[in-house]
A = this chain, B = another copy of it.
C-alpha cells in the first residue's frame, strides 16, 4: 500500500509539472512568441501532451490505483488518500478509453484546423474551413463511441467539461431560459429607454486602459507575486503552477470596456485557480476545478454580479473618472451605470451584453447538438447560424466572420464546451443570491471597493473543495439547490427591468 501510494503521488506530481509546462508553452504562443516560432511550438506542445497522456494512462499507474481502490485497501486509507484514489481511478479509466493513436490524430487535425480557421476568418471564407470542421465533427463522433455514455452521443462530449451534465438537463433548462430571456429582451428593446439609448465615445488610450485594469485586479486581491496580466488576441487564464497563474486581456477591441470586463472575468478565473486546495492535495487530481461550468461561475460572478453591479461603480466610477477625465468628467454615475449595462443584440459573443450573451451560447449548443446528431451538415452551418441569429436576436450577420467563424472553439475540437458558459452564468447568479443572503454588509463592502469578504466566501464555499465534490454537489451544498435557471431569470429581471423602466 505504501509503495502504491508513494507511486501515485509521485506520478501525479510529475503530471502537474507537465501540465505547468504545457500551460507555459500555450501562454507564450498566445502572448509573446514571434510568429514563425509556431511550427516548433506545435511540436513542443504535442510532445508534452503525448508524454503526459502516456504517463497518465500507463499500465503501472493504473495497476497501483486499482489496487488501492480495492475495497479492503480503500477502507484502510486516510480520508484524503481515499479521495485522491477514487478520483484518480475515474479519471484514468476515462482517459484509457481513448486510444493514444486517436489523441494524436485529433491533435494533428486540430493543429491544422486552427491555422486554417484563422485564415478562413481573416478572409471570411467558410469554405476554406469546412473540410477541416467536417473532419473534426467526425472525430468528435468517434470520441463519443469511446466514452460511450448513456443517452445521446453529445452526453459524452458534455461530460468532458461538465461531469454528469446531460443533453436532457440542458434541453430542459434552455427550454425554460430561452423564452424567458427572449421575453426580457423584447420588453427591453420595445422600451422608451432602449429607443433613447446613446452610444458614447469611450475609447480610452491603451495606457489608461492598462492602469484601470491593473487597478481593478489589485482591488480584487489578485496577488502580484503569484500572477500576471498580459495581452493576447483572445483573453484567457492559464496556470503554470500553484503560485503562477496568468491572465490576459486585449486593449484593441471595438467595445471600449472590453479590456476592463474581460480582465475582471479572467481575474475571477485566476482567483479560483489560486484558491484550489493545496497542502495535502497539492499536485493531485483533487487540486483542480470539478467542471468548467463551476470555473466559469467564478469569472461570470466577478464580471457580471460584481463589476456590472450598481454598487460597484459607487467606488470605481470616481477612479475611472480620475484616470480618464477627458471622457468622463461630464458624465454622471447613473448614466455610466446604464452605459456599462446597455443591452443591444450584436454579432460577437465575447462582446455581447450580459443578457444577449445567453442567446449566443444557446445558439451554439443547438448547432453542436444538431451536428453531432447528424441533423445538419457542416456545409449547412453558416445558413443555420444566420437563421438562428435572426430568430433569436433579430439580427442577421452580413458575413461569416461575424457569424459562424467568430469562435476558435470548433477548430480546436472543443465540442460540448459552449454550454459551460451558460451553466457558469446560472451558477454565478445562484452564488450571488446565496452570498447576499448570508452577508448583510455585502452592498456596503462593494460600495467601498472592498472585496476581501467576497473572496473569502468564495474560497470557503467553492474554491476549497477542488474536486472533492462535483460542481453540482458544491452548488447544492452552498446554495441548497442544483443548477437553477429560475434564480438567474429573477436576477435578470431584477436588474434589467429597473434599468429599462419596464
Chain A residues with CB under 8 Å of chain B are 13-14, 17-18, 20-21, 24-25, 28, 32-37, 39-41, 43-44, 47-48, 51, 223-228, 230, 240-244, 246
Contact = CB atoms under 8 A, between A and B. Distances in A.
Contacts of A242: 40
A477 B85 CA distance: 64
Contact of A240 (B13, B40, B47, B225): B40
Contacts of A51: 51
Contacts of A17: 40, 43-44, 47
A221 to B, nearest CB: 15
Given A21-B21, A24-B24, A28-B28, A40 B241 contact: yes
Nearest to A244: B37
A245 to B, nearest CB: 8
A47 B35 contact: no
15 contacts: A17-B47, A20-B44, A21-B44, A28-B28, A33-B244, A34-B224, A34-B228, A34-B243, A34-B246, A36-B225, A36-B244, A39-B241, A39-B243, A40-B242, A41-B241
Nearest to A27: B28
Contacts of A241: 37, 39-41, 44
Contacts of A225: 34-36
How many copies the complex holds: the figure is 2
Contacts of A226: 34, 36-37
A34 B228 CA distance: 7
B40 A20 contact: yes
Interface SS of A by simple majority: helix
A220 to B, nearest CB: 16
Nearest to A31: B32
Contacts of A36: 223, 225-226, 243-244
A32 B228 contact: yes
Contact of A40 (B37, B39, B227, B244): B244
Interface centre among A33, A39, A226 (most CB of B within 10 A): A33
A47 B14 contact: yes
A240 B35 CA distance: 12
A144 to B, nearest CB: 32
Contacts of A240: 33, 37, 40-41, 44
Contact of A25 (B13, B21, B40, B246): B21
A33 B20 CA distance: 12
A378 B17 CA distance: 36
A13 B14 CA distance: 23
A244 B24 contact: no
Nearest to A35: B225
